[in-house]
């Protein structure tokens, strides 16, 4: 994992409870937790149901998942495993819905069209840009458009601040943000404190990842303007965005994603 810092960091070990799932529990309760997947494996914990245990000879705490948490973890994992497939009608409809949310006054002529470049896709077929983030990257953009339409339009049309002559392409930046969040929350063999902290919020909201995406996108644009960035500075801005997001997630007095300082940047 990137940017671990030089102070050794804080880690926790994770193991799962292996008995059956309780189908009567849903993921929106405070005892729920989820994980993510694909190349990334994420683990969450509930506010009250995860047992903290010390292992002999191991200074890291261990967190057990309940069956309900296992179920929620699997649901989120399944979501991240879905690649965008232009032959699936539901994926086609999601793409059309994104266009309509972005440009309600302009009719989309075809799913493969030069019009998509207006949104910041690299070519006339957006499906080629979803490879890094999967179908969830499209879901993230659509969630952003529907839940924070003003901020979505401000970023799409670059309506705030003094903009650079060479700006970041909106849609491709959105896919990059999804991919960055997946990387940031990548477990591999160990669980960093930043990841553990994030899943406190997931227990409160099954769509916490989508909300975190919106916060991150708006924060990225905020830092872009503050750094007077241009196209070639995109990677530097993304690194600054990640560092700022990690700092906010680790604030001890934060109990909900809506309490993150950068959440206040969003407008509906």
pLDDT for position 209: 85
185 closest CA partner among 44, 52, 5, 68:
44
The residue range of the domain holding 224 is 67-265
- Split at pLDDT 50, 70, 90, the class of 216 is very high
Say if 237 falls within a structural domain. Answer: yes
Instruction: Tell how strand 58-65 and strand 11-16 pair up.
Output: parallel
Residue-wise pLDDT for 148-205, tens only, equals 999 999 999 999 999 999 999 999 999 999 999 888 876 333 445 566 556 656 555 6
With beta carbons less than 8 A apart as the criterion, state whether 210 and 143 touch.
Answer: yes
pLDDT for position 142: 98
More confident residue, 1 or 100: 100
Mean pLDDT of the chain: 75
Say if 5 falls within a structural domain. Answer: no
The helix (H) or strand (E) run that includes residue 52 is: strand 52-55
Give the number of domains in the chain.
Answer: 1
Structure tokens at 265: 């940047």
Residue-wise pLDDT for 32-75, tens only, equals 223 222 223 322 322 222 333 444 454 444 455 556 555 555 66
- Split at pLDDT 50, 70, 90, the class of 112 is very high
pLDDT for position 87: 94
- Split at pLDDT 50, 70, 90, the class of 83 is very high
With beta carbons less than 8 A apart as the criterion, state whether 167 and 154 touch.
Answer: no
Cα separation values, 101 from 152, 217, 218, 235, Å:
9, 17, 17, 28
More confident residue, 256 or 226: 226
More confident residue, 246 or 91: 91
Say if 185 falls within a structural domain. Answer: yes
Say if 25 falls within a structural domain. Answer: no
Sign of CA dihedral 160, 164, 165, 167: negative
More confident residue, 207 or 89: 89
pLDDT for position 72: 56
Q: What percent of the chain has pLDDT over 70?
A: 63
Say if 46 falls within a structural domain. Answer: no
pLDDT for position 52: 35
* DSSP code at position 228: T
Say if 60 falls within a structural domain. Answer: no
pLDDT for position 204: 55
Say if 9 falls within a structural domain. Answer: no
Residue-wise pLDDT for 125-138, tens only, equals 999 998 778 999 99
């Amino acid at each position: 994992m990137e940017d671990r810092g030089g102070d050794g960091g804080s880690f926790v070990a994770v193991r799962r409870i292996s008995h059956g799932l309780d189908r009567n529990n849903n993921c929106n309760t405070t005892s729920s937790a989820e994980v993510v997947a694909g190349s990334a494996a994420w683990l969450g914990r509930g506010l009250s149901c995860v047992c903290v245990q010390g292992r002999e000879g191991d200074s890291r705490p261990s967190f057990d998942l309940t069956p309900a948490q296992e179920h929620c973890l699997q649901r989120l994992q399944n979501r991240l495993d879905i690649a965008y497939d232009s032959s699936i009608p539901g994926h086609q409809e999601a793409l059309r819905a994104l266009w309509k949310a972005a440009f309600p006054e302009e009719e989309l002529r075809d799913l493969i069209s030069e019009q998509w470049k207006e949104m910041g896709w690299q070519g006339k077929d957006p499906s080629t840009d979803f490879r890094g983030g999967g179908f969830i990257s499209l879901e993230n953009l659509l969630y952003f458009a529907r839940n924070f339409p003003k901020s979505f339009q401000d970023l799409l049309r670059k309506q705030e601040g003094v903009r650079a002559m060479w700006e970041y392409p909106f849609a491709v930046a959105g896919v990059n943000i999804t991919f960055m969040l997946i990387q940031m929350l990548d477990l591999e063999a160990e669980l960093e404190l930043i990841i553990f902290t994030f899943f406190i919020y997931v227990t409160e909201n099954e769509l916490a990842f989508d909300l975190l995406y919106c916060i991150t996108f708006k924060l990225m644009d905020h830092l872009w303007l503050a750094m007077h960035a241009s196209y070639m500075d995109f990677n530097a801005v993304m690194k600054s965005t990640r560092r700022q997001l990690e700092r906010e997630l680790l604030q001890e007095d934060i109990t909900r994603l809506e309490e993150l300082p950068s959440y206040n940047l969003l407008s509906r």
